[in-house]
Chain A
Amino acid sequence: MNAEPRRRPLIAWLILSVITLAYLALDRYADNRDTYRASSVVTTIAILLALVKARTIFREFMQVRHAPSLLCRLTDLWVFLIGAALLGSYFAGLAVR
């Protein structure tokens, strides 16, 4: 195996890990000391970061970037659908409560 195929997944993993650690900062920012507060901003950022991670897993770990464009588009569509469903249900819930 040459170095490139091994290095690229490592970089993807590092990016995913940094985003994961960013959640801890987001978690701290979200609250007033030990009291958890509802926050649409935190919820939206958390969901968007999860979508970035999901797409990275599809493209790099599942190697969709090497797949036919149909699968590339399909997985991108899936990430979009997941995001729309999650954000849509959250904000719909806020609107009707």
Chain B
Amino acid sequence: MTEIAQASPEPGAGAQPSGKTAGEPARVVPGQPDMWVLVLFESLLFTAYFAVYLFHRTADSEAFLRSQAQLSAWLGTLDTLLLLASSLFMLWCVQATRAGAFRSAMANAWITGLLGVAFLVSKVTEWIKLVRGGHSFTANEFFQYYFFLTGIHLLHLLIGFVVIGVIIYQLRSPARRSRDLVETYAVYWHTVDLLWVLIFSLLYVVR
């Protein structure tokens, strides 16, 4: 499990595999293929939820719009910007790991986690505000979808915190450092971001 550690090229920065012309970038799957199977499966599963939601909202669009008006597009935008920034730092963490700059990689992983915590706080604050305003899970169909989709997304975020914890744990010790695992966990974190991007547009913006 102690792969790399020393500076290794950015994917696409090196010369290449057989069958490729000299200087053509190496093409490698970032992380483990198993994680990609999970990512593609999860995105399809969420897409099924989204499709059911979109189909149902057209049946009673006025009621959905009245409930949607209780959400703050500004807060949703802020949440999105937080997760996008966290993904940026996660990518820098991966790049630093590949370059053997482990202190920088750890710093980037910590910032990723803190941005995730900021998202969590923002989301829980929004939930509390909505519930206090009488818009709980049982209020109507829109809020059932809202709490279900944001709830399972938050569950994925919590798993993401465990993932970041493992990355930091691994980066702390030369014996545990593994570029492959850092890349794999990073793919998971980006998936959390990807799913939120879709949830944000469907819950806060579509009409």
Which A residues form the contact surface with B (CB < 8 A)? 1, 5-6, 9-10, 12-13, 16-17, 20-21, 23-24, 26-27, 30-31, 34, 36-39, 42-43, 46-47, 49-50, 53-54, 57-58, 60-69, 71, 74-75, 78, 81-82, 85-86, 88-90, 92-94, 97
Complex Cα spacing A66 to B53, Å: 34
Complex Cα spacing A15 to B96, Å: 22
A1: contacting residue among B54, B101, B194, CB under 8 A: B101
Q: Binding site of B, secondary structure by majority: helix, strand, loop or mixed?
A: helix
Q: How many residues of B contact A (CB 8 A)?
A: 62
Q: Binding site of A, secondary structure by majority: helix, strand, loop or mixed?
A: helix
Q: What are 30 A-B interface contacts by the 8 Å CB criterion?
A: A1-B95, A9-B91, A9-B95, A20-B84, A23-B73, A24-B74, A24-B77, A27-B73, A38-B207, A42-B207, A46-B202, A46-B206, A50-B197, A50-B198, A53-B197, A58-B194, A60-B91, A61-B90, A61-B91, A62-B30, A62-B187, A63-B91, A63-B94, A66-B11, A69-B27, A75-B40, A82-B47, A86-B202, A89-B51, A97-B59
Does B44 lie at the interface of the complex (its beta carbon under 8 Å from any beta carbon of A)? yes
- Say yes or no: A21 contacts B207, CB within 8 Å: no
Complex Cα spacing A82 to B48, Å: 9
Complex Cα spacing A21 to B26, Å: 35
Known: A12-B88, A46-B206. 17 other contacts (CB 8 A): A5-B95, A9-B92, A9-B95, A13-B84, A36-B68, A36-B207, A38-B207, A43-B206, A43-B207, A62-B30, A63-B11, A67-B11, A67-B30, A68-B29, A89-B54, A92-B55, A93-B59
- Say yes or no: A67 contacts B28, CB within 8 Å: yes
The verdict on A36 contacting B197 (CB below 8 Å), with A13-B84, A62-B190, A82-B43 known, is no
